[in-house]
C-alpha cells in the first residue's frame, strides 16, 4: 500500500496535468542505515509523486556520493526540488516531507516546473539586493499547520535568488540540531545561524529578517 491515498493521487494527477510546464528533478539523499528512520519513506514519497507525471524525475543518491558533495548535502534524508540545472540544491527538505509539509513539497514541484516566481514592491527590491550567501532554515514538525507557509516563503525566496538556500528541517528527526537553536515551538526560522524568529510571517515581514541577516554579513 502506498503512502499517498488513491483519492489524493487522482487529485494530484489532475493538478500536475494543469500546472506542470517543465521537467522537475527530485533528488533524494539517503543512507543505508537503520538509524535513518525515514530514508525509505522519503524515497517512497518521491517515487509515488514521480509516478503521477512524466515531468517529475526522481533520483536517489547515497549521502556519501559525489552528487551529495557537489550539492553540499550533509544530512539524510534530504529531498531537493530542482530543475536539474539553474536551481541546483537551493530548495531542500531535511527530514521526511510528510504531514502538512507534503503540501509544501507539491507546491514547490509546481512552482519549480513553471520556472517563474514573482514578487512585488519592497520584497522584490530587497531580494534583488542580495548578492551574498543566505541560508534560511525553517524548523518544522509534520503536525504544524502553520509551518508550510513559512517553508514556502523560504523556498520561493530561494527559487528567485541564486544566493539564497531555503531549507526545511524536521525538528523531531533532528533534535540535536533543533536544540542548538533553542527550538521549542514551530515554525522556528534561523537565517545564517544569526537571525531567528518564530512564526509564519507574510513575505513582507519575512524579508525584513532576511535583510537583517544580510546586513550582518561582513
State whether 64 and 157 are in the same domain.
no
State whether 80 and 110 are in the same domain.
yes
85 assigned to some structural domain: yes
State whether 105 and 134 are in the same domain.
no
* Mean pLDDT value across residues 43-50: 97
Residue 148 belongs to a domain with what CATH number? 3.40.30.10
State whether 10 and 105 are in the same domain.
yes
Last residue of a domain, one of 114, 148, 181: 114
Distances 55 to 41, 74, 179 between C-alpha atoms, Å:
21, 27, 38
Q: CA 190, 191, 194, 196: dihedral to nearest 10 degrees?
A: -40
CA distance linking residue 198 with residue 187, whole number of Å:
6
State whether 128 and 197 are in the same domain.
yes
Which residues, other chains included, contact 76 with Cβ-Cβ below 8 Å and sequence gap of 6+? 29, 30, 31, 36, 39, 63
139 assigned to some structural domain: yes
Q: Answer yes or no: is pLDDT of 96 > 90.
A: yes
- The burial class, CB within 10 Å (0-12 / 13-18 / 19+), for 106 is buried
201 assigned to some structural domain: yes
State whether 79 and 135 are in the same domain.
no
1 assigned to some structural domain: no
User: How many distinct structural domains can be found in the chain?
Assistant: 2
Local structure of residue 194 (DSSP, 8 states)? T
Mean pLDDT across the chain, nearest whole number? 96
pLDDT band at 3 (very low <50, low <70, confident <90, very high): confident
**What DSSP string runs through 32-85?**
SSTT-TTHHHHHHHHHHHHTT-TTEEEEEEETTSHHHHHHT--SSSEEEEE-SS
State whether 102 and 22 are in the same domain.
yes
State whether 109 and 161 are in the same domain.
no
* Mean pLDDT value across residues 187-214: 98
CA distance linking residue 194 with residue 180, whole number of Å:
12
* Mean pLDDT value across residues 172-194: 97
104 assigned to some structural domain: yes
CA distance linking residue 209 with residue 135, whole number of Å:
12
State whether 81 and 132 are in the same domain.
no
Q: What is the pTM of this model?
A: 0.96
State whether 58 and 126 are in the same domain.
no
CA distance linking residue 49 with residue 12, whole number of Å:
8
State whether 132 and 62 are in the same domain.
no
Segments forming the whole domain that contains residue 29: 6-89+96-114
State whether 164 and 132 are in the same domain.
yes
Q: What is the pLDDT of residues 146-173, one digit of tens each?
A: 999 999 999 999 999 999 999 999 999 9
The residues with which 191 forms a beta bridge, in sequence order, are: 136, 195
Q: What is the pLDDT of residue 11?
A: 97
Q: Answer yes or no: is pLDDT of 203 > 90.
A: yes
Q: Answer yes or no: is pLDDT of 218 > 80.
A: no
Let me know: does 121 contact 208? Beta carbons within 8 Å.
Answer: no
Amino acid at each position: 500500500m502506498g503512502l499517498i491515498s488513491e483519492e489524493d493521487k487522482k487529485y494530484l494527477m489532475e493538478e500536475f496535468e494543469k500546472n506542470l510546464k517543465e521537467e522537475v528533478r527530485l533528488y533524494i539523499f539517503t543512507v543505508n542505515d537503520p538509524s535513518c528512520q525515514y530514508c525509505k519513506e522519503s524515497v517512497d514519497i518521491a517515487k509515488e509523486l514521480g509516478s503521477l507525471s512524466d515531468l517529475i524525475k526522481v533520483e536517489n543518491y547515497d549521502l556519501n556520493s559525489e552528487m551529495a558533495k557537489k550539492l553540499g548535502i550533509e544530512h539524510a534524508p534530504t529531498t531537493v526540488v530542482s530543475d536539474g540545472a539553474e536551481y541546483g540544491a537551493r530548495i531542500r527538505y531535511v527530514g521526511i516531507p510528510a504531514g502538512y509539509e507534503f503540501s509544501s513539497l507539491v507546491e514547490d514541484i509546481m512552482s519549480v516546473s513553471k520556472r517563474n516566481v514573482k514578487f512585488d514592491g519592497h520584497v522584490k527590491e530587497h531580494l534583488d539586493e542580495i548578492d551574498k550567501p543566505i541560508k534560511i532554515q525553517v524548523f518544522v514538525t509534520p503536525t504544524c499547520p502553520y509551518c508550510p507557509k513559512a517553508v514556502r516563503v523560504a523556498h520561493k525566496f530561494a527559487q528567485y535568488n541564486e544566493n539564497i538556500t531555503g531549507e526545511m528541517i524536521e525538528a523531531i528527526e533532528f533534535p540535536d540540531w533543533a536544540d542548538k537553536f533553542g527550538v521549542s515551538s514551530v515554525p522556528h526560522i534561523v537565517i545564517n545561524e544569526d537571525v531567528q524568529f518564530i512564526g509564519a510571517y507574510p513575505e513582507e515581514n519575512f524579508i525584513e529578517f532576511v535583510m537583517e541577516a544580510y546586513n550582518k554579513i561582513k
